[in-house]
Amino acid sequence: MGLLDGKVAFITGAARGQGRSHAQRLAQEGAAIIAVDVADRVSQHEGYPPATAADLKETVKLVEKNGGRIVAGTADVRDSEALGQVLGQGVAEFGGRLDVVVANAGVVSWGRFWEMSDEQWKSMIDVNLTGVWRTLKAAVPHMLAAGNGGSIITISSVAGLKSLPGQAHYSAAKHGVVGLTKSAAIELGEYGIRVNSIHPWGVSTVMATEDTHMGELLSAHPNYGMSYASALPGLPLAEPDDISDAVVYLASELSRAVTGTQLTVDMGATKM
């Protein structure tokens, strides 16, 4: 028996990294998966290679390999119509219910705030904050129509609790996700829908390990490095599975009394 048998979960940014891990883990616990990813470059400012359509197909393959059910499609979280189309298709495929939402899609770029272009700032807020709002906006009506309660999980960051140099736009967006999460928890509580945020630190994904812009900026401003410490120097990066453990907890009845909270999976970084 899985912790999520009979449930349906919607995951954004599912082509690789944390999103792929969440899809696999929730499927292993018995959930049917609706997965979306932009599968393309979001803007010119990211210093790492983008996810691809082939990556999203690999997520589908990995979920199905272990007997899981999945509907996947390409959608940008900046595009409400595209999100709604894939989500609607998945909900119909899986019997008209939606129980779990993992708003995971996000991007990272670097720079000092006064040196950023308007477009760099805007693309970050559009994806990492407004994209979360669009995800919840698309999902909640399906959850309400099903009438089964459920769990919404937003993936914020340590930067949603502790502002970071070189990432003012990212910190602003991730702090905004916390405010959205708390308001949503209050508004959805009467329907039995819990809403919580998870706050990872560095995670071993392409976004963290192949971002050339991060190294360039921290090398140019070595004093910024003090803000990027953790209490577990022997664990420089978490694995995607570490974050998925938290997702499974918040998605399941193990956390039935938890809503409106900020769950840190951060190697103590918010305490440094």
Q: What is the DSSP string of 9-40?
A: EEEES-SSHHHHHHHHHHHHTT-EEEEEE--S
Q: Are strands 262-265 and 8-12 parallel, antiparallel or unpaired?
A: unpaired
Cα torsion 139, 140, 145, 146 to 10°: value is 70
Domains and CATH numbers, the chain: 8-271 (3.40.50.720)
170 annotated active-site? yes
Residue 168: alpha-carbon gap to chain centroid: 19
272: pLDDT confidence band, cut at 50, 70 and 90? confident
Q: Answer yes or no: pTM beyond 0.85.
A: yes
Buried b (16+ CB within 10 A) or exposed e, 224-241: beebbebeeeeeeebebe
Reported as a single tens digit per residue, the pLDDT across 181-206 is 999 999 999 999 999 999 999 999 99
Reported as a single tens digit per residue, the pLDDT across 24-57 is 999 999 999 999 999 999 999 999 999 999 999 9
Phi then psi dihedrals of residue 212, to 5 deg: -70, -30
In total, the chain counts a number of residues equal to: 272
Quick one: DSSP state of residue 96? S
Reported as a single tens digit per residue, the pLDDT across 125-155 is 999 999 999 999 999 999 999 999 999 999 9
Q: Which of 170, 191, 224, 228 is catalytic?
A: 170
pLDDT value, residue 64: 98
pLDDT value, residue 1: 85
Mean pLDDT check: name the lowest of 94-98, 122-126, 227-231: 227-231
